């Protein structure tokens, strides 16, 4: 239910109002080195702490790390926002390279035992529950949760929060580092916002929708290089099936295709550019693996919220600002922007499972 994978197993926990969110990652081999700066970089991208261009262009990790450092130190970011950055606390499964406790290290070494970690939530106040109690946001899971779990859903529903994806990013980044150490590299990027396909115009378009109090969808492309031939299983456990499962489990994702995908329907079988997407019969063929996925616009826009009662809206907007700072608001106009590191994380979890 809250676990993912067979050999590299990630178990997730935490609600938006609980003491913490976090996870347990089981199956990681002993002796692997984990660079914590790379995890922080992925968390910052998920938190919308960089501009879209910074987030989506193929800037190297080193460059992004330095941007992150600037941002974190910038006077333009309130101390509150800095404090809110997702701090990972390591509970087990790792030690420092010199045997010191995990919390004091920038590089960790795995022990081969389950890696448990948490990210503390800010203090939850009982009145927060009340605010959520009477709201069914359009296009959100509020309604289905209420129907499925009954009266208590306004608290349990905290599980549906996008915040849960922060823990996925931590676990997935450990998997990505494991893969990178074997020469396998995962790179996702935003390739379309609305009808716009030129990256250099994305920010402008998103700003326009935001100014109108509206939101817009996006498409992410992901490429994986360095995969060995032979990953995947013939019948049900085709690699594309597991990738689709992983990607469609991300909030707001509405579709997945690979290789020639949906667009390939127009091309006859004899045409050369039918490309495999790196998979034949469910198994990697040694060429780069390529897939796409689509994210719907945020359903809760100021425009759509206009009909909801005023005070509730204000509370929500204030929460959003408190949580994320100004930059985030733009990202939330197009949630595909912040989904990029989550797509990479889920891809890494699937591939690490198969590589084991």
Site for a second copy in 76-105 (CB under 8 A): 89-93, 95, 98-103
The Cα–Cα gap between 44 and 65 comes to 9
The contacts of residue 293 (CB under 8 Å, 6+ apart) are 219, 220, 222, 247, 248, 250, 253, 255, 256, 343
Piece in contact with a second copy (CB under 8 A), picked from 61-69, 135-143, 178-186, 320-328? 135-143
Token couple for 346:
């889920």
Number of residues that bind a second copy (CB under 8 A): 127
The helix/strand/coil state of 289 is strand
CB of 61 to a second copy, least distance (A): 27
Figure out which of the listed residues 39, 41, 209, 353 binds a second copy, where binding follows CB under 8 A.
209
Residue 133 φ/ψ, nearest 5 degrees: -60, -35
Select 48 or 218, whichever has its Cβ closest to a second copy: 218
Q: CA-to-CA distance for 105 and 75, rounded, in angstroms?
A: 27
- Contact pattern for a second copy over residues 38 through 77, marking x by CB under 8 A: ----------------------------------------
| Interface residue with a second copy, options 33, 61, 97, 112 (CB under 8 A) | 112
The closest of 148, 156, 165 to 132, measured between CA atoms, is: 156
Of the candidates 75, 76, 147, 211, which one interacts with a second copy according to CB under 8 A?
A: 147
CB 104 within 8 A of CB 96: yes
State the number of CA atoms in the 13 A half-sphere of 25 facing the CB: 32
Range in contact with a second copy (rule: CB under 8 A) among 52-60, 123-131, 177-185, 308-316: 123-131
Establish if 304 lies at the interface with a second copy (CB under 8 A). yes
Nearest to 47 by CA among 249, 254, 325, 296: 325
Contacts (Cβ under 8 Å, ≥6 apart) of 64: 41, 45, 50, 54
- Angle (CA) 36 10 284, round 5°: 90
Contact segment (CB under 8 A) with a second copy among 60-68, 179-187, 262-270, 314-322 equals 262-270
- How far apart CA 199 and CA 102 sit, in angstroms, is 39
Residues in 280-299 at the binding interface with a second copy, rule: CB under 8 A: 280-286, 294, 296-299
| Interacting span for a second copy (CB under 8 A) from 50-58, 65-73, 209-217, 319-327 | 209-217
**Minimum distance, C-beta of residue 251 to a second copy, in the bound complex (Å):** 7
Does position 270 interact with a second copy (CB under 8 A)? The reply is yes
Q: Does 237 bind a second copy (CB under 8 A)?
A: yes
Q: How far is the CB of 68 from a second copy (least distance, A)?
A: 25
Say how far apart CA 175 and CA 125 lie, in whole Å: 35
Does position 229 bind a second copy by CB under 8 A? yes
- Minimum CB distance to a second copy, residue 78 (Å): 26
- Beta carbons of 345 and 230 less than 8 angstroms apart: no
Options 36, 59, 65, 156; binder of a second copy; rule CB under 8 A: 156
């Amino acid at each position: 239910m809250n676990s993912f994978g067979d050999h590299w197993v990630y178990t997730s926990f935490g609600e938006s109002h609980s003491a913490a969110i976090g996870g347990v990652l089981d199956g990681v081999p002993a002796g692997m080195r984990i660079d914590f700066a790379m995890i922080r970089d992925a968390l910052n991208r998920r938190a919308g702490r960089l501009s879209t261009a910074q987030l989506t262009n193929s800037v190297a990790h080193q460059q992004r790390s330095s941007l992150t450092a600037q941002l974190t130190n910038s006077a333009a970011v309130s101390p509150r926002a800095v404090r809110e950055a997702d701090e990972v606390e390591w509970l087990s499964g790792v030690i420092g390279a010199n045997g010191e406790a995990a919390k004091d290290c920038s590089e960790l070494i795995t022990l081969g035992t389950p890696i448990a970690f948490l990210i503390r939530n800010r203090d939850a106040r009982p009145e927060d529950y009340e605010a959520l109690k009477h709201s069914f946001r359009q296009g959100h899971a509020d309604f289905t949760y209420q129907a499925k779990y009954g009266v208590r859903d306004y608290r349990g529903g905290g599980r549906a929060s996008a915040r849960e994806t922060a823990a996925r990013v931590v676990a997935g980044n450990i998997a990505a580092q494991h893969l990178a150490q074997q020469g396998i590299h995962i790179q996702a990027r935003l390739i379309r916002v609305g009808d716009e396909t030129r990256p250099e115009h994305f920010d402008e378009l998103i700003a326009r929708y935001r100014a109108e109090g509206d939101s817009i969808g996006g498409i992410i492309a992901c490429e994986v290089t360095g995969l060995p031939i032979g990953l995947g299983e013939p019948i049900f456990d085709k690699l594309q099936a597991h990738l689709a499962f992983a990607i469609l489990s991300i909030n707001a994702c509405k579709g997945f295709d690979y290789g020639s995908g949906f667009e390939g329907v127009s091309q006859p079988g004899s045409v050369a550019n039918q490309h495999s997407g790196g998979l034949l019969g469910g198994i990697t063929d040694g060429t780069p693996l390529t897939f796409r996925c689509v994210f719907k616009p945020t359903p809760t826009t100021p425009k759509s919220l206009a009909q909801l009662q005023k005070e509730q809206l204000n509370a929500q907007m204030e929460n959003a600002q408190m949580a994320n700072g100004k930059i985030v608001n733009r990202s939330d106009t197009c949630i595909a922007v912040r989904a990029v590191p989550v797509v990479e994380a889920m891809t890494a979890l699937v591939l690490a499972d198969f590589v084991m």
